[in-house]
Structure 1
Amino acid sequence: MTQIPRPALLLGLAGLIPFYWGALTSVAPGLAAWGTEMLGPRFVGPYVQVFYGAVILSFMSGVLWGFAAKGHGWQGYALSVLPALWAFFTTGGGADRAALALVAGFLGLLALDWHFWKTGAAPDWWMRLRILLTTGVVIALSVDLIA
């Protein structure tokens, strides 16, 4: 595998910020109070994680759609929409249930990433980036499940 391009790595890591902000505000009441006052209640704790997680799964469906366009036909396109559909249908029912569903969704996304990488549709460095980011997301979402 080749090295992850710096812009992809830095922007990917920056994309973890809302997940970790949500985790921090889940375990630090003072920070949660400050965040609620400054940003609003939707942007702290599990609320920001669930909303942002659904957005990111949908975004990743678009990325996979781009990989499918490299000649994977119906199967590739069908697989590419699964993360967005997963987020849409599973993130209701409370913060714990939604966080667990998102963990499963991001792990499933990693399997789809591997599929597109293995078939040559994703860049050589793709799995290095996706394993790193998925690990970060799962850890951050797990804070809500154990806090």
Structure 2
Amino acid sequence: MDRTRTIPRHALWLGAAGLLPFVWGALTTLAPDLGDRARDIVGPRMVGPYVQLFYGMVILSFMSGVLWGFTAKSDGRHARWAYAASTLPALWVFFTTGGGVDRASWALIAGFAGLLALDRAYWKAGLAPDWWMALRVPLTLIVILCLLTGAEFP
């Protein structure tokens, strides 16, 4: 199987657009003046680590659905483990986020790292598209770097 297929343009652009709340959160955390001005305009939940935490919880839960969708096209050989594993990102969010910005940020960092491992397992099993890891690795690395700002500079 050829695993070097090009990422579809729409998937690449939408994946990159999905980074915007993480990058915005990192910028408004690292540049407090920008964060203060933005907070006055859009409210406290939409700046700094808070936007990253809310959005990160949504995205990990969404990715559970993506993995479930990959599993739906599997046969009995992969279905047992893949259906069970597809629930892990959403359950991780439910059980581990909370307890303050730094703790929730570290929980999401671990969640996205674990998701990348699941992405690879689904990809290796032939459940994810050939281009999947070429998309998921850089997106995940950027998300984790952004979340580190909330973990280290809450």
- Measured against the shorter chain, the TM-score band is over 0.9
In structure 1, runs of 5+ residues without a counterpart are none
Hey, what does 1:7 align to over in structure 2? 10
1:94 has 2:100 as partner: yes
Residues 64 and 87, structure 2, Cα contact 8 Å, conserved in 1: yes
Q: State the Cα RMSD in Å.
A: 0.9
| Greater shift in the superposed pair: 27-36 or 6-15 | 27-36
Structure 1 residue runs of 4+, over 4 Å off?
Answer: none
Q: CA offsets per residue over residues 70-120 of structure 1, 9 Å max, x none? A: 123232111001001101111100000011010100000000000110010
1:20 has 2:23 as partner: yes
Which AA in structure 2 matches 1:28? Answer: A
Please, what TM-score do these two structures have when normalized by structure 1? Answer: 0.97
How many residue pairs match? The answer is 147
After superposition, where does 1:67-106 map in structure 2 within 5 Å?
Answer: 67-71=70-74, 72-106=78-112
1:49 has 2:55 as partner: no
Please, what TM-score do these two structures have when normalized by structure 2? Answer: 0.92
Instruction: Give the % identical residues.
Output: 63
1:128 has 2:134 as partner: yes
In structure 2, runs of 5+ residues without a counterpart are none
The CA distance in 1 between the partners of 2:151 and 2:41, in whole Å, is: 25
Q: CA offsets per residue over residues 3-29 of structure 1, 9 Å max, x none? A: 111110111011011001111111112
